């Protein structure tokens, strides 16, 4: 990948870089970036080949622990583990999990 040169750095209140704005065309070329509507091959492959839930496959792809997800969802780690292992989690639960992952419900496609 070529080095990004067309970007803007936004400084925080402390004067240190806090955000970077890049053109969308450059953004979608960055490896391992979850694009809207996309299900990465690594996620689908883990779901199918390792026979894990899509929720677990996404969580691991995004390098999150069950404790990280539980914290993002405002529940206990044990509660999250039950959700991840459930055959058919409730839609409201999946919506909350998708939001915690930063993906859409369709990308979580159970």
pLDDT in tens, 87-98: 899 999 999 999
| Sign of the dihedral defined by the CA atoms of residues 81, 100, 48, 65, in that order | negative
Q: What is the pLDDT of residues 39-72, one digit of tens each?
A: 888 899 898 888 999 999 999 999 999 999 999 9
The model's pTM: 0.69
Look at residues 15, 40, 51, 20 and name the one whose alpha carbon lies nearest to residue 107.
40
Q: Rounded distance, CA 77 to CA 92, Å?
A: 18
pLDDT at 106 over 50: yes
Tracing tokens 């391992």 back to the chain, one arrives at 32
Both structure tokens of 2? 């070529």
Q: Residue 66: name the closest of 49, 91, 85, 46 by CA.
A: 85
Domain locations in the chain as residue ranges: 1-31, 41-108
CATH of domain 41-108: 1.10.260.40
């Amino acid at each position: 990948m070529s080095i990004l040169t067309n970007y803007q750095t936004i400084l925080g209140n402390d004067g240190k870089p806090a955000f970077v704005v890049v053109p969308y065309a450059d953004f979608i070329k960055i490896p391992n970036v979850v694009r809207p509507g996309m299900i990465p091959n690594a996620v689908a492959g883990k779901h199918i080949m390792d026979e894990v839930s899509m929720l677990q496959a996404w969580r691991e792809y995004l390098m999150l622990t069950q404790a990280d997800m539980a914290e993002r969802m405002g529940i206990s780690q044990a509660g999250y583990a039950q959700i991840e292992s459930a055959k058919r989690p409730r839609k409201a639960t999946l919506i909350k999990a998708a939001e915690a992952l930063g993906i859409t419900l369709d990308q979580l496609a159970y």
